[in-house]
Amino acid sequence: MTAPTTFGLSSEARNLHWLLTNLVEEVPGIESVAVVSSDGLLLLSSDQAQVEQARAARGESRGGPRGSAADLATIVSGIGSLTVGAAKLMDGGTVKHTMVAMEEGSLLVMSISDGSLLGVHGSADCDMSVVAYHMALFVGRAGHVLTPELRSELRKSLESDSAGSTR
């Protein structure tokens, strides 16, 4: 996790960290994961070392993506905003998920609750149907607990971790 320790966090925050860790460890081909609030702030993300460790445990040997968790959060937030705007213009209702298929990978963005989003970057050989299934499980488990209070706690946790890592 971006926050390697969950010491001092509420049980709901620890549970979300566990769910994200489980997603990264269980699904082959995941490059990075970010949970983003409705205002585009990173709440929770996979740590590159964690992804590499899970990849090695599965016998995968691909290098990770360039950029940071904050970069993925920015991309996820932008895609979420664009698709919500498109859905409004087209009277399409609520956006449930968006997939961007690229030559060297895929990005899947799924709505959690109250505008929060889960974004997963997968490798080119990643089975995105498996990723989508596990993301739906995450969303189902996280959606009802991702309250404004929990989002604030996660954000403060990230801020204190990044302040500690720059010292």
Residue-wise pLDDT for 104-128, tens only, equals: 999 999 999 878 999 999 999 999 9
Amino acid at 54: A
Query: Helix axis angle, 11-26 relative to 128-142, nearest 10°?
Result: 170
Nearest to 54 by CA among 124, 118, 1, 107: 1
Torsion sign (Cα): 71, 73, 75, 81: negative
pLDDT at position 2 is: 39
> DSSP secondary-structure letter at 36?
E
Among 2-11, 69-78, 141-150, the range scoring the smallest mean pLDDT is: 2-11
> Which domains occur in the chain, in start order?
11-165 (3.30.450.30)
Residue-wise pLDDT for 38-90, tens only, equals: 888 899 988 766 666 666 676 665 544 456 778 899 999 999 999 999 999 99
pLDDT at position 147 is: 82
